[in-house]
């Protein structure tokens, strides 16, 4: 399989006021981002509030996105956690025919050593034929996958095809890019540093802001991959303040507030998250009025 290039979108899970999933809102998001030339979709990641979804809800989300997508874009499925055996069972009990890869987060809460992280992913890979993208997000998991561990996993297992690197440390990304096998992908997991990651040899981004700005992010990433640096940064500087705003009260609270203002879906989230404040909504609205969106 080819590496995943370009712009991936970390899909939210829209909710209705009664807490049920808003499938019409999900359909609007998928159709909107697909129309605006994103390259692939990521289901049931952190941004989807997956930790609060029931098994049946996850199944229904997968079916909904598959039906809307009709195999047009590659799909990535989030299956991760801090119980290695449980992850292996989940992977074994799901039909992955329509998915290009699994995005699997480094174990959270347990805070394993680097060897523990290595053995965790080794166990997963040894129990499935699925392709795995490692997800490193220390601010959520409490532990960082160091570059040497990433390179070790990349060299030892062909089915570990890449990493979503969301440590926020650009030097960490560069150290992985410097030593990784050519076939192994380095994907930015942070909207703020997407451009320097790509310009340093990275393959693209799994983006949150792309749900609100699919055309702009797709174009920015495409320009960066063509080494059109000034043009890419001109787009980035137009939306940098909006990126700040959507993370001001946490993710996906901010992106859902933006999507509400754009009349794509409501801003409801599930506890322990709470919806965006009136003040955030007004700030995003005011900033949005200065943009020309598709």
Annotated active-site positions, please? 135, 164
Quote the tokens at residue 187: 């994907």
Closest Cα partner for 206 from 103, 96, 286?
103
Closest Cα partner for 10 from 245, 190, 145?
190
Q: How many Å from the N-terminal Cα to the C-terminal Cα in the chain?
A: 32
Q: Give the Cα separation of 100 and 131 in Å (integer).
A: 7
Closest Cα partner for 78 from 104, 49, 109?
104
Place of tokens 């960066």: 224
Residues 6+ apart with CB under 8 A from 243: 191, 192, 209
């Amino acid at each position: 399989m080819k590496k995943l290039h370009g712009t991936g979108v970390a899909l939210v899970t829209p909710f209705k006021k009664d807490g049920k999933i808003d499938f019409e809102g999900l359909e609007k998001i998928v159709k909107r981002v697909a129309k605006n030339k994103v390259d692939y979709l990521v289901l049931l990641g952190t941004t989807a509030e997956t930790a609060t979804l029931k098994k049946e809800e996850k199944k229904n989300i997968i079916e909904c996105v598959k039906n809307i997508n009709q195999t047009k874009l590659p799909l990535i499925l989030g299956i991760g956690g801090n119980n290695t055996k449980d992850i292996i069972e989940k992977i074994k009990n799901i039909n992955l025919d329509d998915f290009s890869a699994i995005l699997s987060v480094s174990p959270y809460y347990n805070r394993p050593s680097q060897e523990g992280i290595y053995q965790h992913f080794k166990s997963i890979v040894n129990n499935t034929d699925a392709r795995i993208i490692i997800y490193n997000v220390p601010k959520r998991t409490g532990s960082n996958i160091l570059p040497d561990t990433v390179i070790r996993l990349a060299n030892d297992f062909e089915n570990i095809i890449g990493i979503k690197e969301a440590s926020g440390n650009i030097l960490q990304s560069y150290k992985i890019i410097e030593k990784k096998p050519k076939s192994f992908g380095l994907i930015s997991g942070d909207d703020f540093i997407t451009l320097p990651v790509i310009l340093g040899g990275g393959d693209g981004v799994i983006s949150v802001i792309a749900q609100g700005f699919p055309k702009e992010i797709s174009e920015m990433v495409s320009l960066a991959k063509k080494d059109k640096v000034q043009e890419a940064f001109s787009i980035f500087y137009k939306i940098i303040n909006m990126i700040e705003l959507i993370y001001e009260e946490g993710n996906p609270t901010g992106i859902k507030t933006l999507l509400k203002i754009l009349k794509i879906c409501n801003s409801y989230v599930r506890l322990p998250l709470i919806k965006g404040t009136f003040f955030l909504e007004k700030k995003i609205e005011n900033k949005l009025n200065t943009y020309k969106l598709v």
